Amino acid sequence: MEKFAFILHPISYQDLTRKYSWANYLPSSLVLEYVKRKKPFIVSHIKGIKSTFTGEEIEGFFIACPLITQQMVDLPLPYVYNKIIESGRLAQEAGAKIVGLGAFTSVVGDRGITIKKHLDIDITTGNSYTVASAIEGTYEALKLLEVEAEGATLAVVGATGSIGKAVALLMAPSFKKTYLVGRNADKTKALISSFQDRNLDITYTTSIVEGVKEADAIITVSSAVEEVIHPEMLKPGSVVCDVARPRDVSPKVAKARNDVLVIEGGVVQVPGNPSFNFNFGFPPGLAYACMSETMILTLEKRYDSFSIGKDLDIEKVKEISGFANKHGFKLAGFRCFEKVLNSSDIYKIKENAIKNRRR
């Protein structure tokens, strides 16, 4: 049976205190030092993933890289690289032919290139399928709110990153206007030259507030440690697809804005009867798109480093979408801060948006 692995890590300090109850009674400095010194380990054995096309079943492993996001930012890069490489070697020993880099492990440094040089198996960030599923979900959400892309404004927050750039290149041609939002003004401005159609209405900014205030559709993937999208920034009826982990969108948006549709980017129904044996907050059978890319490539026996580096191949985004459809992976409806959104929820958001626009 073909095998894959996927590297996870605790997102925040709160994840540690939930996992280790004793951490609530110790100084955070001691807990973080413990985590820093802890070796990577196998979290769970994954079974039951089965292609609807070939009928083939695969298995895999979740592997914990024990560093929280802030440690990956603060610690020396070689130390962080080494911890991720150790996690990848554990995947090799378990028999995996490909390993996915989850959450901030996919963002660190050169986004997988250095890590690949130290492993004998292929790696992927999962970003290609993340892009494909986020785009699909955003268009579907706009359709439900009866918003036509050709008359709407798009904002991409984190536009110079690998996911943001790919999203912008694929989506901007369908929208009336696009705002590219990035921390570095020169890099964000330079991105405009990547578009083949010079007649597109594209503006760049380093201000998230300026970039999103007119947007009907926002895809946000900033790689920031803290939330960057807040309730007062958004116009009524906007769709916000949060692809970032840690999340870019503040939970206050869902509580304070009943006229805005926030969706989690890239939540996928996995084919077969998957048993992940690990609770990452989803109902049975659902996984993030980045995780799913590793599974899809394993079912396809496409063992290469599919999505690494700071630039994604747009053709690979289209290719992985085709592989996903072939093997039975599909968008798993809409979720907002781990809550399932049904048609009634979305109808209420649409009605509230109409009412609030009239004020």
**CATH code, 158:** 3.40.50.720
Q: Verify that 340 and 295 share a domain, yes or no.
A: no
Residues 35 and 119 in one domain: yes
Do 61 and 137 have their domain in common?
A: no
My answer on whether 75 and 190 are in the same domain is no
User: In terms of domains, do 218 and 351 share one?
Assistant: yes
pLDDT of the residue at 280: 81
Q: Which domain holds residue 226?
A: 130-266+333-357
For residues 22 and 75, membership in a common domain is answered with yes
Residues 276 and 173 in one domain: no
pLDDT in tens, 245-260: 889 999 999 999 999 9
Looking at the fold, whether 102 and 156 belong to one and the same domain comes out as: no
Do 29 and 138 lie in a common domain? no
User: What residue ranges of the chain have pLDDT lower than 50?
Assistant: none
Q: Say how many domains are in the chain.
A: 2
Report pLDDT for 359.
Answer: 67
Same domain, 235 and 169: yes
Give the global pTM: 0.93
Q: How high is the pLDDT of residue 190? A: 95
Same domain, 296 and 247: no
Cα dihedral 87, 88, 90, 95 sign: positive
pLDDT, tens digit, 9 for 90 and up, residues 118-145: 999 999 999 999 999 999 999 999 999 9
Domain check: are 98 and 247 in the same one?
no
